[in-house]
Amino acid sequence: MTFEKFSSEIKTLEKFFPIYCNDKHTGQFSKHYKIFYQENEINFDISLCKECHNLLHYAITRLQECPNDPKPRCRKCPNSCYDKDKYKQMAKMMRYSGMKLGVTKAAQRLKKIFKKN
């Protein structure tokens, strides 16, 4: 996968993880991530609980080692590289945060509409 694709996948994780973790878990702490991909470097800080840091770290490693080009959605991958348990955790997290983000976006749209009138 291209670096652009890789970095947008990372951005999605960076956005989705805290939403889920802040709602469901306690004991968050900030950690710095330095990720290398195709001679590029991505840096970010993120505050999560220990369990989510582990899962995020795992997800990043899987992503770095993804042999598919172009990368399909993990859900549609014919030979998913995830552990069953980790996959379930990821799916739950993505579903929850995706829905919440969707709801927030819809609410923002509604607000705009109502402001006009």
Query: Where along the sequence are the contacts to Zn ion (CB under 5 A)?
Result: 21, 25, 49, 52
Question: What is the nearest approach in angstroms of Zn ion to the Cβ of residue 48?
Answer: 5
Query: Which residue number, 19 or 66, has a Cβ lying nearer to Zn ion?
Result: 19
Question: What is the nearest approach in angstroms of Zn ion to the Cβ of residue 54?
Answer: 9
Buried b / exposed e over 1-17, threshold 16 CB at 10 Å, is: beeeebeebbeebeebb
Question: What is the nearest approach in angstroms of Zn ion to the Cβ of residue 100?
Answer: 14
SS3 content of the chain, % helix, strand, coil (to 5): 60, 15, 20
Query: Which residue number, 25 or 109, has a Cβ lying nearer to Zn ion?
Result: 25
- The C-alpha atoms of residue 62 and residue 10 are separated, in whole angstroms, by 11
CA angle centred on 115, ends 114 and 117, rounded to 5°:
70
Query: Which residue number, 25 or 75, has a Cβ lying nearer to Zn ion?
Result: 25
- Residue 94 · residue 86 · CB < 8 Å: no
Query: Which residue number, 49 or 81, has a Cβ lying nearer to Zn ion?
Result: 49
Question: What is the nearest approach in angstroms of Zn ion to the Cβ of residue 21?
Answer: 3
